[in-house]
Amino acid sequence: MANIVELRNMSTADIEELLDDARTEQFNLRFQRATGSLENTARLKQVRREIARLLEILTKRAWAIEELAEQPAVAAVLDGKEWTGEARYDYEEGYFLVTLSDADENELASGKVDLNKKRRRTRRQRSNILPIQKVDEFEVAS
């Protein structure tokens, strides 16, 4: 399995293909364990962790797209249109670079989303202060 940097640079379709392969391997390993023919039992744990890693990458991409789409100015542009989003992680800046496009591949909006901002811990902090803005910069296409 590739390391996390290589996985984050892959396309979503490639990650979903790796996820399907890992789930198939997990099924086969479970079947081998049930029949008593599994030699490397540690592989079950490795595959389970690979699946979790792949799901985390897909979930964070979807979360970053959702955060940008919830911005009021961006939501106004997306309202009533069919759109798709694409997110990739930039290690140098520490942001997800998100691009929202319409069905004709015209860019509707783009932005930088930081999912690593910490949420407030106590009830008082969460109730008295506005929610943390995870979108640092965004640009709406004209």
Q: Report how far residue 112's alpha carbon sits from residue 9's, in angstroms, rounded to the nearest whole number.
A: 16
Q: Are 71 and 64 a contacting pair, CB within 8 Å? A: no
Domain range summary for the chain, segments of one domain joined by +: 4-63, 64-140
CATH number assigned to the domain covering 4-63: 1.10.287.310
Cβ contact 115:134 at 8 Å: yes
pLDDT band of 23, cuts 50, 70, 90:
very high
Put simply, whether the predicted model's pTM sits higher than 0.75 gets the answer yes
- Report pLDDT digits (tens) over 102-135: 988 899 999 999 988 776 667 776 667 667 788 8
pLDDT digits (tens, 9 = 90+) for 24-36: 999 999 999 999 9
pLDDT at 133: 80
Reported as a pLDDT band with limits 50, 70 and 90, residue 141 is confident
